[in-house]
Each structure stands twice: as C-alpha cells, then as structure tokens.
Structure 1
Amino acid sequence: MSVYSTQAPTLGNTLGAVFLGMAISCILFGVSTLQVYFYFHYYPTDGRLHKLSVGFLWLLDATHLSLTIYSTYHYGVLGFGNVDGLQDIIWAIKLHTAINVIIVLMVQSLYAYRVWLLSGYHHGVLGYLVAAAVLGGFAIGIVLAYETCTISVWSDTASISWAVQASFAASTAIDIVISVAMCYYLRKSKGAELRLNSRISTLMQYTLSCGVFTSACSLACLFTFILMPNNLIFLALTYLLTRLYVNSFTAMMNARQRAPRPEDTETFMMSNQVFTYGSPPRSIPDPERHRSRDHKFDWVDVPAPSRSLSNASASTVHAPELHKAEYAYTRHW
C-alpha cells in the first residue's frame, strides 16, 4: 500500500491551505514586530551588528509577508474561476522562495557565529562543524532558489523535488547541530556562581526551544512535500517556517537581562518615596541599586572558563580581582 496521498487537488488543500498559512503568518508577524520594538526599546546600547541584524531581518520578514499576501490575493481573487491560471507559478512565489532562503540562512549564521566564539573559548571543534553545516546549507539554498526560477507551473515541481527535499532536510539538520553545539558549550561554561549558572540554564532552554520549533516545522514541510505532492500544504507551512525563524532570534535577543534606563531609574526612585504626614519623605532601601552591574551575563555576554590565570598565580590574587579577571575577556561579545 502506498504511503503517498492520492487525493486530487481541491480548493481546500490548495487555496484554502495557502490562505490559512497567510492568516497565521500575519499573527506571527505581529509577534515578531512586537519583539523588534522591545529589542530597540530595551537594548539601545547593543552593538551595531545586532541592531543591523534585527532591523534587516524585520525588513525581510515584512517583504516576505507582503509577497505572501500578494500571491494569495492573485490566486484567490484575481484568478478566481481561471483554472488554467492557477497552474502558473507567479514571480512573487519565486521571490518569496529566495527571501525565505536568505532569512533562514541569516538566522542560522547568527547562531553559528555565537557557537564559533564559544568554540574558540573552549578550543573545541564544534565551531568548524557548525560553520561547515551552515556553508553547506547556503549552497543548497542557492541551488533551490535557482531551480525555482527555472519552472513555470506547479506540476514542474516534481523535477526539482530533490532540491526542495535537500533544502528542508539541511535546514532541520543545521538547527539540530547548532542547538546541540550551543547547549554543549553553555554547559561547559558553568562555574561556581549560582546566579551565573541560572542565566546559562535559561539560555540553554531558549536554545533548545527554538531548535525544536524550527526543526519540527522544517520536518513538517519535508513530510508534506513528499507525502502529499498534489496539494499546497507544504507551501503554507513554509510561510510559518520563516516567521518562526525570525521570532526565535528576536525572542532570544529579548531574553537577556535588561539594562536600567535613566528614565526607569528616576521613576523607580520616585515610587520608592514614603510620605508621612508631618515628616519629610524617606526612601525605602533598594538592594538592587547597590548591586554591581559588572556581573551581568546574558545572550551577548556568555561566560566561559578563563585560562588567563594559572592555579599558582590565582592564589596570590584577591577575590574581587580574581572574579573580575575571570570573566573580563567575555565582554566583547
């Protein structure tokens, strides 16, 4: 018995699936837009690389959604009743595929960059493995974008099925490799400080969650493309895949500890004033105000064991100086 679906294409599993994918994509785009707003609002001191990456990803995501809406409108409204016209692959679908490849590879490259830095701290080889996997995925993505531009009707997708399947499989494998490598190095970065270990555990949870969601969606795209070749359910899932990649990266950036802003500090000081009738206002002591901000570790400042001090020389250094030197070189993230 064949495992392939022999169901004929209908209005529900073609235009209906694409419409539902577009609707859910609009919701996820709203979530990613809110994440981008929070990022620029709460992390104004981030480096130029992170700001440009988040802004460029949002622009690509908005363009991708615009192409999704246009293609759905073209097939569902402009092409209503034109059965022959529904067989054509319009330019928006081809450009949509290219932007999808760019977004996925860009997010994976940003994750791979962090794995590369952690690999350098620990003198590991996983950084080279992740870099090779991302470069391989980049090559497959270019081939997929080129092959998509060579076909003109949906029935021709069978001729480039190898490129589509390779792209989905590579995306799943890269997500798994990056998640495993990141969690491995983060676990090696744990030390004796409980607050630091708690922050690292949070990063590991976010990394695993993002890897699971994106990998599951990539596998769903792969299985629906192979098992249901007569409908467009796989295309609707690709709409969601792009949104999940953007949301995973922006959520990871917003999962860090937020630095206090001047207006927030002033507002907090005003709210801490206690007014008593007949006496001047007094302030409630705030232990967080006196806590040092030098020990903030987050997604950008991931700690790693220091090798700058030997065991012999460490005993001659005072405790505060030892702690400062132990994590000094991780601040350039």
Structure 2
Amino acid sequence: MVAIIDNTLGAVFIGFAIACTVFGMLISQAISYFRNYPGDKSIFKILVVVILILETVDQCFIGHLVYFYGISNYLNPIVFEQAKTTWSLILQLTVGAVVGAIVKVYFGFRVWRFSDRNIWVTGLIMILALGQLGLAFAFTVEAFRLPSIFAVHQIQALGTVSLGVGVITDIITAGALCFFLNRLRTGLQSSDNLVNALCNYAINTGVLTSTVSVAVLVLYNAGPANNLYFIATYFTLSKLYAISFMATLNSRRNISGRGTDRQGNTTNHTNLFHLGTRMPSMGPSDLERWDKVDPPMFPSVQPPSAFHGYSYEDK
C-alpha cells in the first residue's frame, strides 16, 4: 500500500511542487516583460496574457488533482489502488498541449522570417505543431473513456506519437533557425556575435523542452503501469515552453545591446555587404526584429561595390 501511495500521490505531489517553482519563474519572466517592454507590439502582449491565463488554469488543474488524492480521499486507499481518473488531470494534459502549440507556432514564424519565406520548412514546422495539437485532442477524448489513470497505457500508441512529434518539431525548429541564421553571417564580429547568441538561444530552448519530452516519453513507455511519474514530469513541460517564449521576448534587446524600452531606443546604421552566395546581411538592428510576425524586407541584391558605405536605418 505504501508503494502505491508513493507511486501515485507521492509522484503527483513532487510534480506539483516542481511545477509551482517553474510557474513562479514564468510569472517572474512575465513581470520583467511588462516592465521592460511597455511599448512592445500588441500581438506579443496578447500572447503573453493568453499563455499566462492558460498556465494559471493548468496549475489550478494540477492543484485540484493533488487535492483530490491528498485531501478528499486521504483515508480512502481504494482510490489510490484504482487511480481514479479526474477531469482536471485530463484537461491539464490538453491545456499543456495548447500552450506548447502556441509557442511552437511562434517559433515557426521566426523560421519564416529568417528563411526569407521558406514555405517548405516553415510549413513542415506548422504541420507538426498543429498535428501534435490534434493528437493531444484525440488523446483527451480517449482518456475520458478510461476507467483509471493506469489504463492510460491502453492508448499508449497515441500518446507516444504525440510526444514524439513534439520532440521532432523542437529539433527541426532549432536546426532550421541555426541554419538560416548562419546564412546571415557577414564576417563582422558584432553581427556574427549576434547570430551566435540567437543560435545559442534556439539550441538551448530546443534542448530543454526536447529533454523533458523525451523523459516523459521514456517514463510513459518504459515505466511500470501502476505509477504516475510520467504525468508528474509532464506537469512542467508546458511551463518550460512558456518560459522559453518569455525568455526569448525578454532577451531581444539585451542580445542586440539596445537595452529595453525604458532605456530608450537608439538608431543603428549598419553596412550591408553581399558576400558571394550568402544573402545580403542583416545587421544587429535587423536581426533584433526577428520576433516580428511579418516576414523581413531584404534590400535588393546589388553588385558588391554598390553596397560599400550603404546604410540601413532601423525604423
């Protein structure tokens, strides 16, 4: 009986504690964003608010699950043995998938911008992101039909494919961003350092979310059937996606050396050079605007001599 409690209530409680910590980090990132970027685009402010609302609801669902097992049924061992399914647990999985899809689509627009409207790569990322969301909805419908949480292994194939698609999406997105960003190298230390910083952010966010997704995948498939460790690990996944989104917004002007909205804006003049088969370079003032949803406007390609002394003003 003790082992059952450890594998159910114990796992859920630990997952809830970690999720609370990560949720606090997300709130801190959101506060920092609204303080430092009061003049940011409305679309980003809306996305931040939507993600915060969804993650708050997500955390409430997890809290309800802990309350159900730890308070309402603390003297009912049958509940632990049967691992009765709660509506809050199932909907928490769905809300987490929605947050993950929003962040993946946002990163997909980054690829769209830096790839000069490469519809194939961007389209693949969008299809995978929305496809995983569809699989998550299907998983939700099937989960409501299960007699217990332990029976979730009956729909193991659906859950495995959904998690696997998420890992693949993260890897493709990070790889595509690094590839297209590297095409913007100019040989100038300032702009190349900016490219390196953006690549590092893309890799780090992709590795973090992919690692947790793989951990959930392994625990779901390789772990014993009568434990909730994979669910406890999943509690933090959507919050890590949300934090990666917030960290990306908060780091924009720090990466480009422009401070924040409160520190005022400066105007950058950057020479553009056409280097062989490389695309015309985007200087720091252009690169910092990768977060815009609209695709970039590249200057027309001219002979190398025509670019000497040419400047582009960041408007």
Alignment of 1:301 with 2:290, yes or no, is yes
What amino acid sits opposite 1:137 in the alignment? Q
Matches within 5 A, 1:56-95: 56-86=50-80, 87-95=83-91
Q: Is the 8 A contact 2:116 2:296 kept in 1?
A: no
Partner residue of 2:101 out of 91, 98, 105 = 105
- CA shift, 1:118, in A, is 2.2
- CA shift, 1:130, in A, is 1.7
Q: Give CA-to-partner distance per residue, 1:50-85, whole Å, 9 cap, x none.
A: 111111111111111111112111101111121223
SS in 2 for 1:146: helix
Give the gaps of 5 or more residues in structure 2.
Answer: 270-283
> Which stretch of structure 1 is more off in the superposition, 167-176 or 137-146?
137-146
What amino acid sits opposite 1:149 in the alignment? F
- CA shift, 1:299, in A, is 4.8
Alignment of 1:150 with 2:142, yes or no, is no
Matched pairs, number: 292
Alignment of 1:292 with 2:287, yes or no, is no
Partner residue of 2:6 out of 12, 16, 19 = 12
TM-score by length of 2: 0.84
Relative to structure 1, is the Cα distance of residues 142 and 243 closer, same or farther in structure 2, using a 3 angstrom cutoff?
Answer: same
Identity %: 24
Alignment of 1:243 with 2:239, yes or no, is yes
Partner residue of 2:154 out of 134, 141, 159 = 159
Partner residue of 1:202 out of 174, 197, 200 = 197
Q: Is the 8 A contact 1:118 1:304 kept in 2?
A: yes
Relative to structure 1, is the Cα distance of residues 147 and 141 closer, same or farther in structure 2, using a 3 angstrom cutoff?
Answer: same
> Which stretch of structure 1 is more off in the superposition, 63-72 or 296-305?
296-305
SS in 1 for 2:252: coil
Partner residue of 1:222 out of 209, 217, 220 = 217
- CA shift, 1:156, in A, is 2.3
SS in 2 for 1:70: helix
Which one has a bigger Cα radius of gyration? 1
Relative to structure 1, is the Cα distance of residues 261 and 305 closer, same or farther in structure 2, using a 3 angstrom cutoff?
Answer: closer
Runs of 4+ more than 4 Å apart: 258-265, 302-305
Aligned-residue CA RMSD (Å): 2.7
SS in 1 for 2:311: helix
Q: Give CA-to-partner distance per residue, 1:165-207, whole Å, 9 cap, x none.
A: 1111111111111111111111112224322221121111011
Q: Is the 8 A contact 1:179 1:207 kept in 2?
A: yes
Give the gaps of 5 or more residues in structure 1.
Answer: 1-7, 266-288
SS in 1 for 2:4: coil
